[in-house]
Structure 1
């Protein structure tokens, strides 16, 4: 699956192609507001994910690396869920982070329960690190990228050993 990450620009007025897409309108405004609060530091920004010219989801970094760590976030638009796209978007973010700063620790946070995002992270080589308190979401699970391998369908079961039950 060939995912292309299309940068979300710093200013709302510079994102005309996204403003007309109903799937992008809310997240676009949130991204621009986020940039205003933390700064705009490419490549540590937000992106829309595309396949064959169609936007299928969102991806991004929650700011530039701090203390050698960077957090990722991703999602697919509702009509594209359950097709492996979220897994591919996550993989693309990991690849971008590693190409930019090979030593960076790549982190992710999920709700403190099993869900699609926990499956996606496991498929991409992330390991559960424990519960943490997120200032916006309360108690969440924190994950860290541990292995440089391509996602595989059978990997989820073998990765559960160190993960929460």
Structure 2
């Protein structure tokens, strides 16, 4: 499950990762280890080669202690990973950052996400279709026009119904300071 990105977007993403890694004062090896990636995979990303998965990008953003949109905004605003498309609609990065995405899931699509930074919360507003979503072990069934908020600092999931789903996803990042 890799993200489809053109060459320019991959190069932009690679440069952004390098900038953020160097700002954190980490070597390539250190970031790869912290994010649970092979050093060669991270090196290829920094070179603007290869296509990362959404989970890889989320892990990098978490370890670099930046909102997901900070990592991808300069590269590409829409990311497609198999049967799921995520479009960055807006981002506010003041004292408490907020990202807003439009997420579209094909029928029966599933996304199991790793935990975000401590204190992160997500609010889903279902635009169309149906979706089960929330923290793993506590999924809530949602229909169009329903809203659900959950702690995203633990593993969570999105499971589309037989017609698929479209949802506005608002991610509220907590001000947790360095881990």
Tell me whether the two structures share a fold, i.e. TM-score over 0.5: no
- TM-score w.r.t. the length of structure 2 is 0.33
Higher relative strand content:
2
- TM-score w.r.t. the length of structure 1 is 0.35
Structure of higher RCO (CA pairs closer than 8 Å, 6+ residues apart):
2
